[in-house]
Amino acid sequence: MAQVTGGELLVRTLMKAGVEAVFGLHGAHIDTIFQACLDHDIPIVDTRHEVAAGHAAEGYARAANRLGVAMVTAGPGFTNVVSSIANAYLDRTPLLYISGAAGLGQAETNTLQAGIDQVAVARPITKWAHQIGTVRDIPRLVAQAVRVATSHPTGPVLLDIPMDVLGERIDEADAPVPERIEAAAPPAPQPAAIDETLRLLKESRFPVIMAGVGARQSGAEEALRRLAEESDIPVYSDFAAHGLLPSDHPLYAGTFHKMADLEAPGDRPDLVLALGVRFGLFTLGDSDLIVPRTARVVHVETDAREIGKVRAADIGIVADSREVIEALRARAGEGAWPDRSAWRDRIRRAGEERRARLVPELARPQPPIHPYQAVSTIVDTIPDGTIVVGDGAEAYHWLNETIAQREPGSYLTHGFLGCVGMGLGLALGAGTARPDRPVLCLIGDGAVGFTITEFDTMVRRGLPIVTLVMNNRSWAASQHFQELAVGPNRVTRTQLGAARYDLVAAGFGCRGYHVTRIEQLAPAIREAFDGGEPACINVEIDVVPTPPELHLLMKR
């Protein structure tokens, strides 16, 4: 009987789970996994820093709507990826993190990269964390980890595997790899709840649908479009669900923050169908600015703990979003829906009025370039089908004003952790998951410094990602906070230098572009994408303006 290593068993199990790529950084503790990946032609996207490996696995999972896998070595390899684990946990991204560890026989010996209980560190920020103690358990527990990560509500898991367990050999018959590894089916809605929801939807005068990450993960795009068109109900989305209904669809109203434009008493929603929405940061908590306190709420979530947690629900449905939509459509049958053309037109006008308020900025003299000028040009110029990554405490708020995507998984940006500096990693993952799609990473000049060496990874991996640095020589969100909170004469340690990020990227082998005037930007974007190589466009923007979304957050 053939003998195999623990690393070989792990890779065989990942292959059964459908894993096609892994993100990581080599270390001796996990070399047997690297060797097995080599034997089975499983590509490892080897980053320059573990934090980027973790974020790349997140980007892969979010762009492809499937499991992402990151592996890191013991000690600092593990601690470097903790921010990514926390980010995935708060955003419910299905991730398998594999960490190496010192051998079981080296316990309490002060050996290299040991002395940390990595499972204990990970347990509060994962769905499940476990150390595998015997080689024969590797297939069984890897399969369990995959099921836990991909079952709703999805999220990250950690498997910590000692070096001697990974290196141990065993007869392959003594550690069989499961033939099938499937997540548990999401719950289905109760008929009574569907009937009551349908009644409220038909009775309401000003209903809206709010689509969240749960709707995206359920694959609800076609069902949502049909429900919206049949009922004539406008749809708002959070960032994770952006593109679930195409941005150019007449019933798409924008991201959640744009609901705040409906300020007049007669213009506000009276019913919200929240599909896979987690109320909180992106709905401004339980404030009245986005979801009126007078509105009835039907909250659909796979996690019962989310229903009523922040915003009280008139109807709570613990179920998969797509299943709920299909049940609503089936129960509605051919029955007439109310005429909501006036309501739909009012929401459309709200969007037009919002854009009209920003139009004067497009004609503003420059340099420096106004941020709204930059993001408007970007969205108008990037190729069709581009996956857009937004990173930076303030930069992505500008992008939110103009972003227009036609497919889900096409706009990857910050979640509940507000983890600045993950953009290059997310872009690596998105480019790996969808090599058929162009990828743009819009990133602030502060954020790009976190993992700037990943330009090297893009070059080595041949990923033609275009990175656009919004360079205002400042940690702008912090600068604006200080100006408002303590006064303009108390701004401290928020300014950055006049760095040329295009030249830094060029040093790693990317194409570099330096843009100081708005008329230079569109040609630079076109040339960068046409070049078919990694590129960095350094855009000098004005630090003074603040995004409209931030003004809304300040109202809260």
Q: Which residues are catalytic, by number?
A: 29, 50, 113, 418
Cβ distance 76 to 139 under 8 Å? no
Residues 244, 213: Cα–Cα separation, whole Å: 10
Residues pairing with 235 in the sheet: 209, 252
Q: How many CB atoms lie within 10 A of CB 112?
A: 12
* Among 435, 383, 443, residue whose Cα is nearest residue 412: 443
Count of alpha carbons within 13 angstroms of residue 199, beta-carbon side: 8
Query: What does the chain come to in residues?
Result: 556
Burial class for 297, CB neighbours closer than 10 Å (0-12, 13-18, 19+): buried
Non-local CB neighbours of 128 within 8 Å, separated by 6+ positions: 144, 145, 148, 157, 158
Residues 253, 228: Cα–Cα separation, whole Å: 12
Q: How many helices (H) and strands (E) does the chain have?
A: 21, 20
Non-local CB neighbours of 488 within 8 Å, separated by 6+ positions: none
- Name the amino acid, one letter, at 518: I
Sign of the CA dihedral with 317 first, then 319, 200, and 308 last: positive
Cβ distance 533 to 464 under 8 Å? yes
Q: Tokens 């690297």, residue?
A: 34
Q: How many CB atoms lie within 10 A of CB 110?
A: 8
Count of alpha carbons within 13 angstroms of residue 319, beta-carbon side: 22
Q: Tokens 């040339």, residue?
A: 527
399 to each of 211, 212, 395, how far by Cα in Å? 19, 19, 7
- Name the amino acid, one letter, at 219: G
3-class DSSP assignment, residue 132: coil
- What is the biggest distance separating any 2 CA atoms in the chain, rounded to whole angstroms? 76
Residues 398, 358: Cα–Cα separation, whole Å: 11
Burial class for 493, CB neighbours closer than 10 Å (0-12, 13-18, 19+): exposed
* Among 50, 70, 44, 35, residue whose Cα is nearest residue 113: 50
* Among 304, 322, 324, residue whose Cα is nearest residue 313: 304
Bridge-based pairing of strands 3-5 and 169-171 is antiparallel
- Look at phi and psi of residue 433 and say left if phi exceeds 0, alpha if psi is from -120 to 50, else beta: alpha
Residues 384, 477: Cα–Cα separation, whole Å: 30
